[in-house]
Structure 1
Amino acid sequence: MNDMKKVIKPMKNRLVRYIVLAYAFTWLFWWADAILLYVTGQTVEDTVPRILLALGALGPAAAALCSLDCGFTMIKVKALLLGSRHKRVIHAPEYAAGVREKRPKKGWLWFFAVLAGETALCVLCAEGITRHDPLAAADFARWLILYTFLAGSQELGWRGTLQPLLQKKLPYPMTVLTVGLVWGVWHLPLCFMTGLFNGLSGFGPAQSLLIFLLASLTLSFWLGAVYNKTNAVIWPMLLYGWTGALTDLVKLRLNGRTLAAAALFTLICLVIGMTGAGNEAVKIKRE
C-alpha cells in the first residue's frame, strides 16, 4: 500500500504539471496572436502571427519534456519517442513499485493497419482531389513533414505523457475521451483568430470549438490505439502527419455515410487500443 502511494502522488503531480504547462505555454502565444490579429488587422499569413502560431503549437511537446519523471535527459526523450523495453527511464516510480509494461511485439504493424484503414476511409468518402497540378505531390510531401514534426510534436504530450498517466487511473475508453476533451479545449484561442476559421470559413468561435472538439475526440481514439500498441510516440506522430496532409489533399463528403464510416473506424480503433500493451501491467520482483 505504501508503495502504491509513492507511485500515485508523483503521477498526480506530473499530470497536473503537464496540463498546466501545456495550456500556459500554448495560450501565451496563441492569445497574443489572436489579439494581434484583431488589433492590427494582420492575417495569419503574415510573419509575426505565423511565428506565434508555430510557437504555440509546441506547447504540449515543451510541457512533456518539462514533465519527464526525475528530470530531463536525452535517454528519456529517446525512450519517449522510440519506446523503451521496460519504460524504466520514463516511469521510474512505477518501476520502483514493482510494475512494468510489456514491450509490444511488432506493435508498429498496428500503425500501418490503422494508417491503411484511415486512408481507405478518406478515399471511400472523398469527393475528389483538391489539386491536380504537377506541384501537388511536392506540396503533399511538404505538408506531411510539417504536420508530422511541427503539429505532430504535440503527440509527445497528448499520447506520450497525458494518456499513460491517465491510463493508470482510468479505463482506456475514459482515458482517450478525457485526452480528446483536454486536447480539444486546448485549441480555444484558435477559434478567435481572425482569418483562421471564423474569417475564412464563416465559423464563429463556438462553431470552431465544436469542430475542434469533435476532431480531437475522434483522433484521440485513432492515435491512442496506435500509441497503446507501440508505446512509442513516433508512430502517433507519423499518423498525425499523414492525417493532416491527407485531409488537405482530399475533399471529404460531409454526409451520413462519412459520419457512419468514421464512427465504425473509431469503434475499431477503440477495440484495438483496449488490447494494447498500455493496458497490461506485469508484476515483477522489486529490485
Structure 2
Amino acid sequence: MKKTRLFLLITFSITWLCWWTLSIIKLDNSPIFNNILHVVIFCLGGIAPTIAAYVAIRFTDKQTKAFNKSVLQFRTHIGFYIFSIFVVLGIKYIAIWLYDIYNTPIWAELSPQFMALIPLTLIMIPLGGLEELGWRGILLPELSKKINFKTSALIVSAVWAMWHLPLFYINGMSHYQSDFLAFVLQTIGLGLVLAWLFRKTNSIFICVLFHAFHNATSSIGLNLPDNGNYITVSIWLLLGLGLLVFGNRNKELAKKAQ
C-alpha cells in the first residue's frame, strides 16, 4: 500500500494547494485562460495525478517500463474504441431525448459543433485525460491487489470525484457554484465505466482518450440545462454500475467453475 499512499499524498497535496490557492487569488469571473499565472497554477494542479504516478513508481517498485507500456498500449480491439465514442455521444443524445419528453424541447435550439471534436479531444488530453495515468493506471490496480475489483473501482471513482472539489470554488470555472452532488454521482458512474474499460483492455491509453473525448463533448454544445443534470447523472450511474456488476460476469462464473 506504500505506492497507494504516496500517490494519494502527492496528488492531493499538489492539486489542492494549487486549486485552493487559485480559488483565493482569482476574484473575478473571467475565463481562467486570460491570465498566464492562473493557467500555470490550474494546469499544475490538473497534472498532479500524472506526476504522482511516476514519483510513486520511482520510489516503490521502479516498474517504469511496464507502466509506460500500458500508457502507450493503443493496440486493443477496435470495438473498445467504437464503444467509447458511441457511449459518450449516445448518453448525450439519450439525455436530451428524455429531457425533451418531460420539459420544453431544447433539441431545436442546440447547434453542436462536431467539427471541433477532434481538436478539442487533443486539447483535453493534457487538460484531463492524462489524469488516467494516476487514477486508473496506479490507484485502481494497486487497490485491487488488496480488495476486490468492484470495491476498488467504487473507491477510486469516489476519491477521483472528491479530488475535483476546489474547482467548485474557483470563480470563472464552469464548475463554480454548480451542483457538486450531481457532479460526484456522474463522476462515479464515469469512473466505473473507465474501470471496466481498463480491466478489459489493460490499456491506460484508451482510458486517456475516453476521458479526453468525454470532456471534449461537454464543450461542443450538447449539454442540458441545469434542471436536467440528474438525467445525465442517472444514465452514467446505471451504465457504470451495470458494467461493474455484469461486465465481467462470464469471467467470474468461469473461475467458480474451475
TM-score range, shorter chain: 0.7 to 0.9
> How far is the alpha carbon of 1:197 from its aligned partner?
4.6
Match of 1:158 in 2: 135
Matched, 1:122 2:92: yes
Match of 2:71 in 1: 81
- Seen in structure 2, the aligned counterparts of structure 1 residues 130 and 30 have a Cα distance that, compared at 3 Å, is farther
Q: Deviations over 1:66-113 (max 9, x none)?
A: 11143374x2442230349xxxxxxxxxxxxxxxxxxxx955533432
Q: Quick one: distance in 2 between partners of 1:34 and 1:22? A: 18
Give the alignment of 1:168-179 within 5 angstroms: 168-179=145-156
- The percentage of aligned residue pairs carrying the same residue is 23
- The secondary structure found in structure 1 opposite 2:212 is helix
> How far is the alpha carbon of 1:26 from its aligned partner?
1.2
Normalising by structure 2, what TM-score? 0.78
- The secondary structure found in structure 1 opposite 2:155 is helix
Matched, 1:46 2:37: no
Normalising by structure 1, what TM-score? 0.71
Matched, 1:17 2:6: yes
Q: Which letter does structure 2 place at the counterpart of 1:66?
A: V
Q: Give the aligned length.
A: 237
Matched, 1:227 2:201: no
Q: Deviations over 1:26-52 (max 9, x none)?
A: 1222122111114xx473242221221
CA contact (8 A) 2:91 2:236 kept: yes
Q: Quick one: distance in 1 between partners of 2:114 and 2:84? A: 23
Structure 2, unmatched stretches of 5+, are: 97-105
- Seen in structure 2, the aligned counterparts of structure 1 residues 181 and 276 have a Cα distance that, compared at 3 Å, is farther
- The secondary structure found in structure 1 opposite 2:223 is strand
- Seen in structure 2, the aligned counterparts of structure 1 residues 272 and 153 have a Cα distance that, compared at 3 Å, is farther
> How far is the alpha carbon of 1:187 from its aligned partner?
1.1
Give the aligned CA root-mean-square deviation in angstroms.
Answer: 3.1
Structure 1, unmatched stretches of 5+, are: 1-11, 85-104, 282-287
- Seen in structure 2, the aligned counterparts of structure 1 residues 66 and 52 have a Cα distance that, compared at 3 Å, is same
Q: Quick one: distance in 2 between partners of 1:211 and 1:255? A: 7
Q: Which letter does structure 1 place at the counterpart of 2:70?
A: L
